[in-house]
């Protein structure tokens, strides 16, 4: 190589280095502003230019953690460790991603490695301590189950009729059958950040559980001729945005039926208010207000993302246990108008799944890590045909051909699912055969996204109704999560 050629090569390498640094700075800025999908795109461009740069992988991994795509976060952190086995940030990212999935032993292994590499890091030590606590808790619970000493369901152990409502209580008073007036009073009471008496909370939980128990795991709902039906996605504890949905789209009624498609709780710090309102609505309108289960209606997610801490703060551990019991009875899906399959996450690792098989699933349990129930709660669509490992680390990614095959096999025309933030509040995929709807605008006070709901007519044709976030009291997301700082809150 001549001197001129060597100089040119050095200059090109310097230019590439400057471009990578520029992209990294741009990605960092986008991340700080909460634009995580855009930050991922920029970090990916930088990685393509410099595939040996560990910082780019750990930065992109953190973006994936924020977006709950923990499978991709794990892959990026693992790549960084392959490049540099002493990269402390990479072990942090692995620990955080595994914690997000509730895999505490794996998280502990990686936080322990981070502490070994950086012994004086107080943050790593705190995270390791939390992992140890969770691992011991899991071991204790398994030991109790193995010994046959499991506590009876809360619904059998709590004696609601003995709970006295004090004369000093100034909130709404519940008598049965529940009335629309009570539900309206309840929502206004909760809007004012006041507590419903715990006796009434238990009564609503008991009645809602009795109603849900009677449903199959996938239920059928008709759309009356000439009528409409509204389907909403994730609300994630954003109570004031839920009330705004009812303001702009009408309050639930026999003439204005709704389905909410899971993930009522966690992240947002008004999760109790959201889910109690929804269960009260279910008691009032059992045939016109419908609920399906999301992946966050589970103990593992609730421990990580705030609902457990919130209910214990506002009420008690017993109250949280009762919610967990009710969550286990939430149906896993719905067939609307005989043509639209509604499910929180997505489709399946098998081609031969039928609606009858799904209707018969045993759902009264915590979600397993694999199988049909897990896939219904966790899976996501992908643009390419076929199936791929899940970007979340649970469930799978499925292509448009999988969607088409499922619809044809079961005589359906559309899949509606939720489970993912969308900038417009909804997104159409799979050649129009699949729609994602997400109803938590400006998710976690960070994402800047619109919220949306889908309004179906009696021919199962739909249109989207979009809305922006509304103000709420100054309580930050993840306020009650024991490890909220892990996710940047």
Catalytic site residues?
296
Write out the H or E segment, with its range, that includes residue 144. helix 122-146
Q: Parallel, antiparallel, or unpaired: how do β-strands 258-261 and 228-232 relate?
A: parallel
- Helices 122-146 and 104-117 sit at what angle, rounded to 10 degrees? 150
Q: Which of 305, 296, 303 is nearest to 268 (CA)?
A: 305
For residue 283, give Cα distances in angstroms to 151, 195, 277, 463. 27, 19, 10, 28
Name residue, tokens 């995929």. Answer: 429
**How many beta carbons lie within 10 A of that of residue 2, not counting itself?**
7
All residues at 6 or more sequence positions from 219 whose CB lies less than 8 Å from its CB, including other chains: 290, 331, 333, 334, 335, 359
**Interior angle at CA 18, CA 14 and CA 23, nearest 5:** 150
HEC string of 453-480 equals: EEEEECCCCEEEEEECCCCCCCCCCCCC
Cα dihedral across residues 172, 257, 289, 244: positive or negative: negative
CB 231 within 8 A of CB 415: no
Q: Which of 418, 409, 469 is nearest to 443 (CA)?
A: 469
Name residue, tokens 């009564």. Answer: 203
Q: How many residues does the chain have?
A: 489
CB 426 within 8 A of CB 435: yes
> What is the rounded CA–CA span in Å between residue 489 and residue 477?
7
CB 230 within 8 A of CB 346: no
The helix/strand/coil state of 483 is coil
**How many beta carbons lie within 10 A of that of residue 177, not counting itself?**
8
Instruction: Tell me the two tokens of residue 425.
Output: 């509040």
């Amino acid at each position: 190589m001549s001197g001129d050629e060597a100089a040119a090569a050095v200059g090109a390498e310097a230019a590439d280095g400057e471009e990578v640094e520029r992209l990294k700075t741009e990605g960092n800025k986008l991340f700080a502003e909460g634009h995580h999908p855009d930050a991922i795109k920029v970090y990916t461009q930088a990685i393509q230019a410099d595939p040996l740069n560990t910082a780019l992988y750990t930065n992109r991994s953190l973006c994936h953690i924020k977006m709950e795509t923990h499978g991709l976060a794990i892959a990026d952190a693992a790549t960084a460790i392959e490049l540099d086995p002493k990269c402390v940030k990479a072990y942090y990212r692995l620990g955080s991603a595994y914690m997000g999935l509730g895999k505490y032993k794996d998280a502990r292994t990686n936080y322990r490695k981070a502490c070994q590499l950086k012994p004086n890091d107080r943050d790593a030590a705190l995270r390791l301590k939390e992992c140890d606590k969770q691992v011991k808790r899991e071991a204790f619970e398994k030991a109790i189950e193995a010994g046959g000493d499991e506590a009876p369901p809360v619904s059998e152990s709590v004696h609601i009729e003995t709970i006295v409502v004090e004369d000093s209580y100034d909130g709404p008073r519940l008598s049965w059958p529940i009335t629309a007036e009570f539900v309206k009073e309840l929502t206004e009471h909760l809007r004012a950040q006041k507590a419903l008496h715990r006796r009434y909370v238990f009564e609503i939980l008991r009645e809602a559980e009795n109603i849900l128990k009677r449903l199959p795991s996938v239920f059928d709902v008709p759309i009356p001729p000439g009528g409409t039906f509204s389907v909403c996605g994730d609300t994630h504890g954003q109570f004031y945005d839920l009330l705004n949905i009812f303001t702009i789209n009408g309050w639930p009624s026999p003439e204005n039926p709704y389905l909410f498609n899971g993930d009522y709780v966690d992240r947002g710090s008004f999760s109790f208010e959201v889910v109690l309102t929804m269960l009260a609505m279910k008691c009032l309108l059992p045939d016109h207000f419908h609920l399906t289960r999301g992946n966050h209606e589970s103990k593992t997610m609730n421990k990580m993302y705030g609902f457990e801490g919130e209910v214990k703060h506002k009420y008690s551990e017993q109250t949280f246990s009762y919610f967990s019991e009710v969550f286990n009875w939430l149906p896993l899906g719905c067939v609307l108008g005989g043509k639209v399959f509604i499910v929180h996450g997505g489709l399946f690792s098998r081609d031969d799944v039928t609606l009858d098989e799904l209707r018969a699933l045993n759902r009264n349990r915590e979600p397993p890590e694999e199988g049909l129930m897990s896939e219904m709660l966790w899976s996501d669509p992908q643009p390419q045909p076929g199936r791929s490992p899940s970007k979340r680390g649970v469930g799978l990614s499925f292509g448009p051909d999988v969607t088409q095959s499922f619809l044809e096999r079961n005589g359906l025309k559309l899949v509606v699912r939720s489970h993912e933030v969308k900038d417009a509040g909804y997104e159409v995929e799979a050649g129009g055969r699949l729609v994602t709807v997400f109803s938590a605008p400006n998710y976690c006070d960070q994402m800047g996204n619109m919220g949306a709901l889908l309004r179906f007519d009696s021919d199962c044709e739909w249109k989207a109704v979009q809305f922006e976030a509304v103000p709420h009291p100054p309580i930050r997301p993840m306020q009650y999560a024991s490890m909220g700082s892990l996710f940047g809150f």
